[in-house]
Amino acid sequence: MKRILTPLIPFLAIIVLWTASISLFAIPNYILPTPRAVVQALRIGYVEGLYWPHLLATLQATILGYLIGCGLAFVFGALVAASKIFERFVYPYVVGLQSMPKVALAPLIIVWFGFGISSKIVMVALICFFPVFINTIVGLRHTDPNLIDLLRVFSASRTHVFFQVKLPSAASHIFAGLQISVVLALIGAVVSEFVASQRGLGNLIQASSQNLDVAAMFAVLFTLALIGVLGSQLVQFVQRKLLFWEARADETTTAIHE
């Protein structure tokens, strides 16, 4: 219960400060809408079904791009960590690609992949790639060499060493990258919808901006924030289930301090 109530305190404080600021400074609704106006926009958008197609379009591109980008990042990161030759070939190009602003790449991606969901998936995958790629390399290279030597004494294969020692050791680093990428994935989807899309939450923000419907813009932004929080919580949940030894260690530490 405490875990649920604690995050609500800052949220309620923001609502109170928001409402008080509008009343105190007489801020017009077309600049900063009231919380009630935002709730009304959310109700109209979801009850009447206006937002659902846009929400599903953004979620589809976000999830597919996230899975593809993170999957490729893990594979390339593992190859770079295992081979210095592969690192010399690949790493400079990955860093160079990451240095390019993704908004600047968006028109080129649209030329290559069109105005449909494919371009959004590519944009999301590109944005998600680098955090998982780097964290995979760091995690795999920080494996305890004594454990690797111990398995090699018993003639363990490279595959066995990877799955039994290196991957569990690097898992916390990899999940840290996944945590970062899950938020970036949503940003990538919305940015691509700004550039070229007829459906999606980014497109909905643009349409609301053109109509000067600031309450609707806040409603969509609130939706995006909620999706980001839920996505982050989902990654944390999977991490706790898969890396159960870390969860037990945290529980033991908490019990000791209490």
Evaluate whether 162 touches 143 at the Cβ level (below 8 Å).
no
The confidence score (pLDDT) of residue 81 equals 94
Encode 175-198: b = buried (16+ Cβ within 10 Å), e = exposed. bbbbbbbbbbbbbbbbbbbebbbe
Q: Which of the four pLDDT bands, split at 50, 70 and 90, describes residue 255?
A: very low
- Does residue 57 register a pLDDT over 60? yes
| Domain parsing of the chain, residue ranges | 1-32, 37-257
Give me the pLDDT at residue 88, please: 93
Number of H helices, E strands in the chain: 12, 0
Q: What is the pLDDT of residues 34-52, one digit of tens each?
A: 999 999 999 999 999 999 9
Task: Give pLDDT, residue 176.
Answer: 95
Please give the Cα distance from 123 to 105 (Å, whole number): 9
Q: Which CATH superfamily is domain 37-257 in?
A: MetI-like (1.10.3720.10)
Q: How far apart are CA 6 and CA 220, in angstroms?
A: 24
pLDDT, residue 256, reads 44
- Mean pLDDT, to the nearest integer, of 120-135? 95
Average pLDDT value for residue range 177-188: 94
Write down the pTM of the prediction: 0.88
- Do residues 58 and 124 touch, judged by C-beta distance below 8 A? no
- Give the relative orientation of helices 2-25 and 35-47 as an angle to the nearest 10 degrees: 120
Q: What is the mean pLDDT of residues 42-70?
A: 95
Task: Say which DSSP state 15 is in.
Answer: H
Q: Per the structure block, which two tokens stand in for 131?
A: 């955090």
The answer for residues whose C-beta is within 8 angstroms of residue 148's C-beta and 6 or more apart is 161, 165, 166
Q: For the ranges 64-73, 121-130, 203-212, which has the lowest average pLDDT?
A: 203-212
pLDDT value, residue 244: 79
- Report how far apart, in Å, the C-alpha atoms of 92 and of each of 40, 80, 85, 182 are: 50, 11, 12, 24
DSSP states along 91-127: HHHHHHHHHS-HHHHHHHHHHHH-SSHHHHHHHHHHH
